[in-house]
């Protein structure tokens, strides 16, 4: 129940295209869903996050879509650029203080070709 399943494992997109990464969860206690972006040699950094009381959150070219009933959420990168090439991790957070408070997906390696 603690898993967050992420797909695809890797993704190749042409410059200007839309990159879509999907995540699904089981634990209904999760109530906050951040996405992290990691460049080679760096630690993951927060990209965008959503609460389950909204179905979509947009920040620039990055959009999170959230489907509470399906327990799924996704990251859309519009007009993908070579500089977006990185590994992306979804995560899910609960309000409690146990370890299960924070669970990461397995990551998606995105490559945007010029």
Partner 1 sequence: GAGVSQSPSNKVTEKGKDVELRCDPISGHTALYWYRQRLGQGLEFLIYFQGNSAPDKSGLPSDRFSAERTGESVSTLTIQRTQQEDSAVYLCASRLAGGRTEAFFGQGTRLTVV
| Residue 49 C-beta: closest distance to partner 1, Å | 6
Task: For residue 100, count CB atoms less than 10 angstroms from its CB and return exposed for 0-12, middle for 13-18, buried for 19 or more.
Answer: middle
| Residue 44 C-beta: closest distance to partner 1, Å | 5
DSSP H helix total and E strand total for the chain: 0, 11
| Residue 95 C-beta: closest distance to partner 1, Å | 6
- For residues 107 and 91, give the distance between their C-alpha atoms in angstroms, rounded to a whole number: 10
Q: Which residues bind partner 1 (CB under 8 A)?
A: 31-32, 34, 36, 42-46, 49, 51, 89, 91, 93, 95-99, 101-102, 104-107, 109
Q: How far is CA 58 from the centre of its chain?
A: 13
Q: Which is nearer to partner 1, 83 or 99 (by Cβ)?
A: 99
């Amino acid at each position: 129940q603690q898993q967050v399943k992420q797909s695809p494992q890797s993704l190749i997109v042409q410059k200007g295209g839309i990159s879509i990464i999907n995540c699904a969860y089981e634990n209904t206690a999760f109530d906050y869903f951040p996405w992290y972006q990691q460049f080679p040699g760096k630690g993951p950094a927060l990209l965008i996050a959503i609460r389950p009381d909204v179905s979509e959150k947009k920040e620039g070219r990055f959009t999170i879509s959230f489907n509470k009933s399906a327990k799924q959420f996704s990251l859309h990168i519009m007009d993908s650029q070579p500089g977006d090439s990185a590994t992306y991790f979804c995560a899910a957070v609960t309000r409690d203080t146990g370890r299960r408070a924070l669970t990461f997906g397995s990551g998606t390696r995105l490559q945007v070709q010029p």
